[in-house]
Structures are given as C-alpha cells and as structure tokens.
Structure 1
Amino acid sequence: MEAPLPYYRRVSGEQLQLSQTLQRRYDRLAIVRLLVFFAVVALLILAWSGGVWWGLTVTLVAVTALTWGVRAHLRIGKRADGARVQHELAEAEIRGLHHDFRDRPDGAQYSDATHPYATDLDLFGPYSLYQFLNRTVTAVGSRRLADQLLKPAPVEVADARRREALALVPDPDWCLEWRQHGADLHDKDAYAARLLEWVERPPVVTGRFAHLMRWAAVPLSLTGLWFCFTQEPWQLGLLFFVPAFLLLRRLSEPAAIEHAYTASAGRALAGYARLLAHLEDRYRPESPEAAPAITRLGYYVSQLDVRHNPFVFVLEITGLWSLHWLYRLDRWRTAHRHDLPRWLEELAEVDARVSWATLRFNRPEWTEAEFTEEPILEGEALGHPLLAPEVRVTNDIRLQTDGHIHLVTGSNMAGKSTWLRTVGLNLVLARAGGPVCARHLRTAALQVWTSMRTHDDLSESTSSFYAELKRLKAIIEAVSDPEQQVLFLLDEILKGTNSRDRHTGARALIRQLIRERGAGIIATHDLELAALENEDGPAGHRVENYAMEVQTRDGELTFDYKLHRGVSRSFNATALMARMGIQIDPEDIKLTHD
C-alpha cells in the first residue's frame, strides 16, 4: 500500500491537472454553447418560415440536441469541481500529516464541562482530538463521531468498528471520493431531526374528495375556461373552479406544515443521495434503493417549494399543484417510514468510519489496542496523539487496575500533565474503536475519569476548590460503582487550599480510592505523598512512585519528558521565577530544598 505522503502528493497533482484541463474545456464550450444558441434561434426562424410541420420537426430536434448539450456541458463543470475538491482535500491531508489541522471543524458544540474526561483531555475545541480526527461531511456523522469519543463502547462494539474501518484503509480513493461528494453539503443537525419527525407524521391528502380532485381538477378547469370564453353568462364558468379553491383552502395549513418540516432538509437531500449512491456502489446491496428514493424525496420537496412562486397560482387553481406533490410525499412517507431512520443511521456510521479509516491510513505506525479481562493496563512507547512525531516523547506503562496508583512527581513543565493526557487519550481512542498512538497497548475495558482543570462557576457561586471537591466526589462514586472499571487521572489534587490541608486530604483520598479498588495516575508536586509507597496498611505496596525530571546545564533548563521509577529530586520553579525578575534569597532556596 502506498505511503500516505506520496499518495496525497500524487492525488493532489493529478487532480489539480485534471481540474485545470476540465475547467479550460468547460470555459471553451461555454462560448460554443452561446454561439450554438444564436445559431439555433436563426435556424428556428427559417424553419418556421417554411411551414408548421417543418418548424415543429426542427424545433423538436433542436430542443433535444440543446438539452443534451447543456447537460453534457454541466457534467464537465461538475467533474472539474470534483477534481478541484479532491486536490484541496489532498492538500489538507498533507498539511495534516505535518500536524497542521487548524482549518477543520473542532466540534466545540459537543463540549461538556460535566463530562468525565472531555474537557481535561481536550476532546473538542481548537487543537483537539476531534479536530485532529474529524473527516465527516454530514451533521449526523459529525455527531456520531463525537458520541464515539464521549461514550466508551463495549468491547464487542469497539472491535466491530475497528474491523469495519480497517476494511476501508486499503481504499483511500474511496474515502476521498466520499468526502468530495459531501464537500458542499453544509448540513445541520436540525435537517435530519426534522426529517425523522416528518416521516412519522400522518398523511396529508385524505378523503375521497381530495383523491377525486387529483383527477378531476384539470377537466373541471378546462370546462370552466371553455364556459367563460364561449358561454353566457360567462361568470357561471367560475363555478367550475370552486372545488379546487375550497380544497386549496383546506390544504393551505397542512401544506405549510409539510413545507416547514422538509424545506430546510431538502437542501441536504441531494448530498445525502450522492453519499448513499457512493456507499451502494462499494457495498452493492441486493436492492440499492436508498439513493434513488432520497433523490425522489428531494425532487418532491423542491416541487412543493414552487408553491411559493406567485406565478404558480394559475397551476394551483387549475391543476392543484400542491395537492399532487403532497400526495407523492404521502406515498413516499408510507413506503419508506421505516427505511429513512435506517438510511440516516447508516449514513452517520459510514461518515464516522471514514474518519477512523483515514486516521489509520495516515498513521500506519499506530497500532490496535488489545482488550483483556485481566485488571491490567500495559503499554509500550505510548505517545500523545496530538504531538507531531518528530517532537513526541513516548513512555511505557504497566499498572494493575484493581486498586493500584502511579504517583508521578516532578518539577514544573516536566511533562506530568501531558503524560496523564497521553494515557487518557489513548484509552479513549481504544474504547471508541480507533487505533492508539503506541507500539503496543493491552488494557481492560476502562472508563476514564479526570480531574485536571477546575474553574470557578459564577452562576452557582462556586469556587474552583469547591468545584474540584465536587469532581472528586463524582470520581469516588464512579470508582465505588461495581459496574464500572475506572481509571482516574488526577493532576495536583486539592490545589485550592493550604499545603497542610492539601497533604492531609490527598493522603486520605488516595487511601480511600485504594480501598475502593480504584486505579489511576496522580501527578503532584507534594513529594511527601511518595512515602505512601512503603507505608504499612491498605496503601502499602499499592502506590508506585514515578518521576519526570529536569536538568540544568549551563544555566539552561532541559527536559527529556521521560518517566523514571522513583521520586523527583529536581526543582525548577525558582529558576523560572528568577528569569522573570523575581529576586530570591539563596538561603530561601536552600531551606525549600532541604
């Protein structure tokens, strides 16, 4: 299989050249089309001057030929646009391979401050996991991808997603074409939601009178026109239009409601149909009806929209335009009431799957997580997914998940928080059915809980310290739940209070989490907590100390971001403060370090 960077460079070059070639052809044919139009007008004038039958024959041939030519010309334009979109997509992937993905949607609308880990692990927002991963083109697919990150899947579901996405990895062309078909969709969550509401509504065209008028409207109108122009008093001819007028009044409100449900979604239906046709082309179902059915629905909706054109009143009063399209919408709804939710579900699932397949194709060095029923989390060369490979530092982990804690000490900027996010993000990826940024990862089906960022809540008059206590309470409750296997990630717990209370509270919290058989990683500056590793009692031998150190060389701080066994012995806060101009007494530094 071709490597990602050469592949995208090849596609970018080929599609750019194809787009330019087709665009030049389209522009030349536009001039030819204009000249042909004038030539046809002149030909029709000559033909009609030679007689009616000659004029009718030439008109039929000319209109047919012009229609075919216009459609062929428009197809060339669409092909040029498609090639241009594929070129732009390939260029965006090249930037993404160099970790520039800031132009993609970041999913900020899915962020939830109360979620067990979404905020602390940067799932959504600028430079987030979602922005790094997202390749969706539909609103339902975007929501599905967000849900997969937010809701850890059962192991069997994650494995099924993994298999389905892996089947797409060898076919990056198909994935790019999928995104090309949805590039101009401009979809919204409300579109699919309103369609699902609409399909459950009862029929609009009901009763014998309405069904009779579908066939009788035109004959009645023709009779009325004949009476108006040929008989006396001509006003009696207007009576033939009364049934249509009464029916239009009755259908006015239902038609407006139908239009409200379908009009906005109608703009997206053509895009849905293209995507479903592309899907059916790959999987070749026995009855490929989704794309044609969605296309018909889009056409019916567009024809119902015409009712707002003031010139359509003539068609309404003489042929009951709205009645015919409402009837077709009723028939479509009856035929596909149970199909539409299934089609939208499939659309969402495949749209999210393309994102996972693209991630695997772009990052072939990543691996697939292995789930086990053992209470274990072990990984080799675990790295942060959002860091570029050239700057990413990896570490190993082995943690028993039945009441064991890794206590990570270290100085400021040494990488403790990044390590917590590294572990958390890879577990989120694994539970979502995605690949992980590691050489190997074997894990129980863990539910991640974090407490890393806490903020004041003015609406509830809540301080950051109280907000952290509420978060820790939720984590304790989750750990105590026998239905969950929790891995907690805590960064500087109880940082909003004085050092004595913080140390006392942290020790008590760690002991309680161990008693509840909780497992996790705690990053802290409180070196005295390291004594828990060797103390007698429940916490003894269930706390393991790790450190991330910093070195000073020629007055410069250097970080290796590597995890080492033991307790940190390096300090850098005073050095950083001194650089900012804070004058610190050397004796104070000595006392602090002692």
Structure 2
Amino acid sequence: MNDPRIYYTSLAEERRARATFLQRKYDRLAIVRLVVFFGLVAGLILAWSHSSLVGLISSLILVPLAAYGVRLHLAVGGRATEARVQALLAEGELRALAHDFGHYPDGAAFSQAGHPYAVDLDIFGPFSLYQFLNRTVTAVGAQRLADHLSEPAEHGESARRRIAGKALAEHPDWCLEFRTLGDDLQDDPAYARRLLQWVDRAPRASGTDVRIMRWLAPLLTLTGLWFCFTQSPWQLGLLFFVPAFVMLRRYSEIASEEHAYTAAAGKMLGGYARLLDRVEHRYPGPVSGASRATGRLAYLVSQLDVRYNPFVFLLEISGLWSLQWLYQLDRWRDRHRGDLERWIDELADVDARVSWATLRFNRPTWTEPELTDAPVLEGRGMGHPLLAPDGRVTNDISIHTDGHIHLVTGSNMAGKSTWLRTVGINVVLARAGGPVCALHLRTAALQIWTSMRTQDDLSESTSSFYAELKRLKAIIEAVSTPGDAVFFLLDEILKGTNSRDRHTGSRALIRQLIREKGAGIIATHDLELADLEREAGSRVENYAMEVQTQAGELVFDYKLHRGVSRSFNATALMARMGIKIDPQDIKLTHD
C-alpha cells in the first residue's frame, strides 16, 4: 500500500500543476471563443445577405459547430476546477496526517445530551472522533456516519462494513474522485425527507382529461391563433384557449404543492445523479440505473422551476407547461416508487464508507478488531485516536465483561480519564465497523455507558451531584436490562458529596454493578476502594497511573500499572499556584 504522506504530497503537486495548466488553456480559449463568436455573427450576416438558402445551410452547419466548441471550452474549465479541488483535498489530508483536522465538519448537530457515551467520549463536536473521521459529501452520508458512531452494530453488520471498508481503502483515487464530485453539493437532510414523502404520494395529474389535453392543448392553440389572425370575428378564436384555462385553474394548486416538495431538491438531485453514476461503476448491483433515473428526475424538477419565469403564462396557455411536467413526474414516480429510498440509502452507505476507507488508508498502523461472543475485552498497545501519534502513549487491557471491574487510582493529570476514553472510543470504533488505534483488540458486543462530565442544569434546577445520580441510575438500569453487555466508564463517581458518603456509596455501587454482571473501569482518587480487591471472591482488580518527581518537576509517563497508586501531586500543584502548604499537614494527610 502507498505511504499516505507520499501519496497525498505527490497528488497535490500534480493536481496543482494540472489545474494551473488547464486554467491558462481555458483563459486562452476564452479569447479565441470571443473572436470566433464575432466571426460567426459576421459570417451568418453575409450568408443570409447572399441568399436564404446559403444562410440556412450556413446556420445549420456553423451554429452546431459553435455550440460544440463552447462545450469543449467549458469542459476544459471543468477539468481545471476538478484538478484544483483534488489538490485542495490532498492538501487537507496532509493537514489531517499532521493531526490538524479542524477543517472538516464536526457533526456537532448530531450530539445528544443523554446519549450513553457520545458526550463523554468526544464523539461529536470540535476536535471529536467524528471530525477526525468525517469525509462525507452528502447530508445523508453525514447522518449515516453519525449513526455508525452512535448506534453500536451487531457483529454481523460490523463485519460487513469492515469488509467493504477494507476493500475500498485499496482505492484512494476512487475515494478522492467521489469526494471531488460531491465537493460543491449543497444538500440538506430535509430535502431527502421531502423527496421520499413525495415519491410515496398518489399520482396528481394522471387522469384521462390530462392525457387528452397534453396533446390537444397545442393543437387548440394553433387553431385559435389561426382563427384570430385569419377569421372574423377574430374574438371567437379565443374560445379555443378556454379548455387550457380550465385545466390550468383546476391544477394550479396541485402544481404549486408538488413543486414545493421537489423544488429545493433539484440541485441536490443533480449532484446525487453524478455521485450515483460513480457508485454504479463500482457497485453496479444495488444502484443499477439509478444515476440516469435520478438525473431524469432532476431535469423534470428543473422544468417546473420555469413556473417562476414572468413569461411562463405563454407556455402555460399554449401547451399546459406545468401540467405536462406534472404528468411526467407522475410517470417517474410510478416507475421508481420503490427505488428512490433504496438508492439514497445506498448512496449514504457508500458516502460513509469513503470515510472509513480513508481512515484505513491514512492510518495503516491501525488494526482490525476481532469481534467475539466470549465475554472479554482484550487490547494491546491501545491508544487514543485523537492524540497525535508522536505523543500518544499506549496501554493494554484484559478484562472479563461478565461482572468484573478495573479500579484505576492515580494522581491528578496522571492520565486516568484519558485511559477511560481510550478504551471507550476504541470499542465504539470496533462496533461501528472501523479499525482501531491498537496493536490488537478482541471484544465482545459491548454497549458503552459513561459518567464522566456530569454538570448541573439550571433549566431543571438540577445540581451536578443529582445529575450524576440520574446518570448512574440510567447505567444501573442498562446493566439490569437484557441485551448487549454493558461496559461502563466512570470517572470520580459521587464527587459531589462528602468523602464518607462518597466512599460508602461507591462501594455499594460497585458491588451492585458486579451482581448485575456489569463490567467496566472506574477511575478514582479514593484509595480505600482498593481494599475491595482483597475481599473473598472479589471481581475488582486494582490498577494505577503514577507520577514521578525529578529535579523538583512532575513527570508523567501515562502508563498503566498493576496495583494501587502511591504518588500524590495535588499539594505540589497547589504550591505552584501560590498556596502555602504546611509540611506537617502533608505528613498527616499521607499517614
């Protein structure tokens, strides 16, 4: 596989040079095009001045040639834009490889306050896993990627996504071309929803009267015009326009209603057609014929947009313009009623898959997790994906997930919270169907629950302590409910009360979670909880993250060790902030 940095650097340089070359060519051809235009006008004037026959023949030859030349000129501009976009995409990936990914959408709109883990694990929002991963170009793809990260998949579905993502990762060029096609797409989830509502509606203009008048209206118009200009009294010729007026009056409201469903989606459909065409070439089965049909729908919708033209009345009265296209839309809807949702669903899948494939290509040292039915979570060399690789510290984990707890003690800033997030975020990646930031990961189907950032809620008059109790209650209920095994990540539980109540409540909570076969990691400063490991039949294991003092400076290695923490740094940190600590108080506290 190509080295991603070399690949993107080479691609950015080549596409930037190509864009410059094509843009210069486009600019030169623009001057030629202008000269040719004036020459064409002059030539046609001379041809028509010579004779009508010469003028007609010249027009039939020169006008199509000129139109073809314009198309070639615009194609050069399109290729220049495409090369420029691909250069920017490659440069964006180089920034991402340097761990600067703030230029990608962060998915903050997908965040849910009560979600089991999304807030605590930084799944959405600035500097989030979603932002790190996201390369989607459609609104439906962005939603699908968010679903992958927030809704754990069954093992079978995870395996299917993993196989598809690994296969696509071997084709980074295809992924970039797909993203290039969707670069200027401005869609919205509401557009897709309204389209799906529209396609399920009954036909609106498919009656016998419509089928007859579609063909009769132009004939009546020609007859009426002939009568008005050749017969007397000419006013009788207006009677031939009455049937069109009647039909327009009957279907005017229907046309407006149908247009409201489809108008905003017109440009989106054109973009979807281009993307689906690309998908068809790689995955022809699920979306066979989708690009052509979607492009046709985009065209039909665009014809309804003509209703906003001030001169559309002439088209309406002479040919029932809106009714003609309503009829065509009905025919499209009848033909593809069961297809549109499937096509959009497949497009969303592929769009999200591009993000997973890009992640695999960009991070070749990440590994594919092993999903198992055994109640275990085993990881080796596991690191936090959102930490830069050159500063990332990795650790191992091995825990049974049927009623076992790792109790992690340690001083402030030793890395306990980061370790909890490291475990949680990698399990989320595994269940979503992605690779993991680890040398090895073997996991059961775990539902992550966290309690790490509980805050007070003034709108509900809820204190932070009560908010935490509500969160713990939700976790207990999840553990007690049949389904996927719950793996909880708790950071400094019951921190909003006094030390005695906190210790008593924490011991009771740990015992209850174990009885309910819950498993997880609890980070705490309460060293007395470590005594639980020594109880008969205990399912608590003690781990620690220590801090060392070297030359008066605190040194953190962020490594996980077996046992109970014996280092303290809070007093040292307070002393640095100017709080004068009595050495005797330090001795009494540690004793």
**TM-score (normalizing by structure 1):** 0.98
Shift of 1:288: 3.4
Distance apart, 1:541 and its partner CA: 2.7
Structure 1's 14 and 51: CA in aligned 2 closer, same or farther, altered over 3 A? Answer: same
- Tell me the residue number matched to 1:494: 494
Where structure 1 has 5 or more consecutive residues not aligned to the other structure, the ranges are none
CA distance in 1 between counterparts of 2:335 and 2:169 reads: 36
- The aligned counterpart of 1:372 is 372
Residue 221 of structure 2 is aligned to residue 226 of structure 1? no
Evaluate the alpha carbon distance shift between residue 286 and residue 155 of structure 1 in structure 2; reply closer, same or farther with a 3 A threshold: closer
Which residue identity lines up with residue 232 of structure 1 in the other structure? S
Alignment of 1:338 with 2:335, yes or no, is no
Matched residue of 1:412: which SS?
coil
- Provide Cα deviations, 1:103-159, integer angstroms capped at 9, x if missing partner: 100000000010100000000000000000000000000000000111100000000
In the alignment, the residues of structure 2 paired with residue 507 and residue 287 of structure 1 have an alpha-carbon distance, to the nearest angstrom, of: 56
1:75-114 map, 5 Å: 75-114=75-114
Give the TM-score taking structure 2 as reference length: 0.99
Distance change in 2, residues 1:287/1:109 (3 Å): closer
Q: Which amino acid aligns with 2:590?
A: H
Structure 1's 489 and 286: CA in aligned 2 closer, same or farther, altered over 3 A? Answer: closer
One-letter amino acid of the counterpart of residue 565, structure 2: S
Q: Which amino acid aligns with 1:341?
A: E
CA 1:535/1:284 → structure 2, altered by over 3 Å: closer, same or farther? closer
CA contact (8 A) 1:165 1:353 kept: yes
User: Is the Cα contact below 8 Å between 1:450 and 1:488 reproduced in 2?
Assistant: yes
Q: 1:462 to 1:251 in 2, by over 3 A?
A: same
Structure 2 letter corresponding to 1:581: G
The residue that corresponds to 1:311 in the other structure is 311
Aligned match of 1:4: 4
Aligned to 2:579: 582
Residue 285 of structure 1: CA displacement? 4.1
Q: Could you say which residue in structure 1 is the equivalent of 2:561?
A: 564
SS in 1 for 2:115: coil
Q: CA deviation at 1:520?
A: 0.4
The whole-number CA distance in structure 2 between the counterparts of 1:483 and 1:86 is 45
> For 1:30-49, what aligned pairs fall within 5 Å after superposition?
30-49=30-49
Q: Tell me, in whole angstroms, the C-alpha distance in 2 between the residues paired with 1:46 and 1:592.
A: 105
**In 2: Cα distance, 1:9 partner to 1:131 partner:** 22
Kept in 2, the 8 Å contact 1:152–1:447? The answer is yes
- Give the secondary structure class of the aligned counterpart of 2:112: coil
1:421 aligns with 2:393: no
Return the offset for 1:586. 1.5
Give the CA deviation at 1:15.
0.7
Query: Aligned partners of 2:48, 2:373: CA distance in 1, in Å?
Result: 85
Q: Is the Cα–Cα contact under 8 Å of residues 287 and 346 in structure 2 kept in the other structure?
A: no
Report the equivalent of 1:458: 458
* 1:481-529 C-alpha deviation (Å, 9 max, x unpaired): 2322010000000011111111110000001111111110000000110
Paired with 1:405 and 1:221, the residues of 2 have a C-alpha distance of 83
Q: Is residue 2:516 matched to residue 1:519?
A: no
**Alpha-carbon distance, 1:551 to partner:** 0.9
Q: Distance between the aligned counterparts of 1:287 and 1:405, measured in 2?
A: 47
Equivalent-residue separation in structure 2 for 1:282 and 1:373 (angstroms): 33
Q: Is the 8 A contact 1:140 1:189 kept in 2?
A: yes
Question: How far, CA to CA, are the matches of 1:552 and 1:441 in structure 2?
Answer: 33
CA–CA separation in structure 2 for the residues paired with 1:41 and 1:114: 68
Contact 2:276 2:287 in 1 (8 A): no
Pairwise CA distance, 1:462: 1.1
How far off is 1:580 after superposition? 1.2
Task: Find the aligned partners of 1:418 and 1:288 in 2 and give their Cα distance.
Answer: 46
SS of aligned partner of 1:561: strand
> Distance in 2 between the 1:429 and 1:284 partners?
28
Alignment match, 1:278: 278
| Amino acid in the other structure paired with 1:370 | E
Other structure's SS at 1:57 match: helix
Contact kept, 8 Å, 2:206 with 2:330, in 1: the verdict is: no
- 1:311, distance to aligned residue in structure 2 (A): 1.0
Aligned mates of 1:593, 1:133 — CA distance in 2? 45
Distance 2:132 2:355 in 1: 10
Shift of residue 286, structure 1, vs aligned partner: 9.7
4+ residue segments displaced more than 2 Å: 283-288
1:363-402 correspondence runs (5 A): 363-402=363-402
Would the aligned equivalents of 1:204 and 1:330 in 2 still touch at CA under 8 Å? Answer: yes
- In structure 1, distance between residues paired with 2:580 and 2:492: 26
CA contact (8 A) 2:381 2:396 kept: yes
Whether the aligned pair in 1 keeps the contact of 2:287 and 2:343 (CA below 8 Å) is no
**1:115 corresponds to:** 115
Match of 1:298 in 2: 298
Q: In 2, distance between residues paired with 1:279 and 1:555?
A: 61
Match of residue 128 from structure 1 = 128
Alignment-derived partner of residue 203 in structure 2: 203
CA contact (8 A) 1:478 1:484 kept: no
- RMSD of aligned residue pairs (Cα, Å): 1.0
Q: Distance in 1 between matches of 2:430 and 2:491?
A: 22
Q: Which residue of 2 aligns with 1:193?
A: 193
- Supply the distance in 1 between the matched residues of 2:60 and 2:135 (Cα, whole angstroms): 47
Q: How many residue pairs are counted as aligned between the two chains? A: 591
The residue aligned with 2:217 is 217
TM-aligned CA deviation for residue 206 of structure 1? 3.0
- Once residues 575 and 440 of structure 1 are traced to their aligned partners in structure 2, the CA distance between those partners, rounded to angstroms, is 37
2:167 partner SS = helix
Asked whether the 8 Å contact 1:117–1:450 carries over to 2, the reply is yes
Superposed, 1:512-551 pairs within 5 Å as 512-536=512-536, 540-551=537-548
**3-state SS of paired residue (1:377):** strand
Where 1:560 maps in the other structure, the secondary structure is strand
Task: Give per-residue Cα distances to partners, 1:454-478, cap 9 Å, x unaligned.
Answer: 0112222111111110110111111
Residue aligned with 1:436, SS? coil
Q: Is the 8 A contact 2:279 2:287 kept in 1?
A: no
1:184-210 deviations in Å (ceiling 9; x for gaps): 001111111111011011111132222
CA distance in 2, matches of 1:189, 1:284: 25
Q: Distance in 2 between matches of 1:39 and 1:31?
A: 12
- The 2-side partners of 1:316 and 1:517 are apart by 71
Task: Name the aligned partner's letter for residue 336 of structure 2.
Answer: H
Separation in structure 1 between the aligned mates of residue 23 and residue 377 of structure 2, nearest angstrom: 55
Question: Can you list the C-alpha shifts for 1:80-111, whole angstroms capped at 9, x where unaligned?
Answer: 11111100000000000010000100000000
**1:240-290, Cα deviation, whole Å (9 max, x unpaired):** 111101111111111111111111111111110111111112234498311
Q: Matched residues in 1 for 2:350 and 2:290: separation?
A: 14
